[in-house]
């Protein structure tokens, strides 16, 4: 397992990057054998995840939303009236790290912190009108450009099976 990020920029391309030379009459530099690596769950899982995130960022370039930011907007929309701690922990984000993330979204007027009247310690999170509009456009982009790609690649049935298995791993492994 390994494989770096490199989102947009070409950089490494794990699979066939290690060729070096191979133009005309060249003998050396056979492709390396991955061997058992290609059967390792963690390896292939990580590689797939990087590719998917990479594609996600490309699809969202016009909206400048990262996967994490998108997940926050989705969750806030689905769960109005929740505070930072609840939203963050549901996503597995630690509260300290969630602060800067919200600062970002709030500075872009995508969501807002509202002091709760019940508990004046907590900040209720809501989407702004702009946030709702952006999220709506984001959903469409994800559906048409991102998720649709899975269907093209695997087919509808396999796509659902894959999501199901990954969910099972995420919850029960």
What residues make contact with DNA under the rule CB under 7 A?
A: 2-7, 9, 11-12, 20-21, 66, 68, 83-85, 92-99, 102, 113, 119-123
Residues 6+ apart with CB under 8 A from 12: 4, 6
Which of 49, 62 has the CB closer to its own copies? 49
Shortest CB 63 distance to its own copies, Å = 15
The binding track of 39-58 with respect to its own copies, each residue x by CB under 8 A or -, is: xxxxxxxxxxxxxxx-xx--
Among the listed residues 98, 110, 96, 21, the one whose alpha carbon sits nearest the alpha carbon of residue 64: 110
Which of 115, 168 has the CB closer to its own copies? 168
Shortest CB 47 distance to its own copies, Å = 4
- Alpha helices by DSSP H, listed for the chain, are 41-59, 67-78, 84-90, 95-107, 129-141, 148-154, 156-172
Stretch that binds its own copies, among 6-14, 108-116, 126-134 (CB under 8 A): 6-14
The binder of 99, among its own copies, DNA, none, by C-beta within 5 to 8 A per type, is DNA
For 123, phi then psi, to 5°, come to -110, 120
d(C-alpha 161, C-alpha 170), whole Å: 14
**Tokens 């058992």 belong to which residue?**
36
The binder of 63, among DNA, its own copies, none, by C-beta within 5 to 8 A per type, is none
d(C-alpha 112, C-alpha 110), whole Å: 7
Residues 100-159 touching its own copies, rule: CB under 8 A, are: 139, 142, 146-147, 149-150, 153-154, 158
Q: Does 86 bind its own copies (CB under 8 A)?
A: yes
């Amino acid at each position: 397992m390994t494989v770096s990020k490199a989102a947009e920029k070409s950089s490494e391309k794990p699979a066939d990057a290690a060729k070096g030379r191979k133009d005309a009459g060249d003998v050396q530099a056979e492709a390396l054998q991955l061997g058992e690596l290609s059967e390792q769950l963690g390896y292939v899982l990580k590689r797939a995840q990087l590719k998917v995130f990479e594609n996600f960022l490309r699809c969202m370039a016009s909206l400048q939303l990262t996967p994490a930011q998108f997940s926050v907007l989705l969750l806030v929309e689905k769960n109005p009236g929740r505070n930072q701690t609840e939203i963050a922990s549901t996503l597995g984000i630690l509260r300290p790290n969630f602060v800067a993330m919200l600062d970002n979204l709030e500075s872009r007027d995508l969501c807002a912190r509202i002091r709760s009247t019940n508990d004046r310690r907590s900040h209720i999170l809501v989407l702004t009108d702009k946030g709702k509009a952006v999220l709506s456009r984001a959903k469409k982009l994800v559906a048409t450009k991102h998720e649709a790609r899975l269907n093209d690649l695997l087919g509808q049935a396999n796509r659902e099976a894959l999501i199901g298995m990954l969910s099972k791993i995420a919850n029960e492994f």
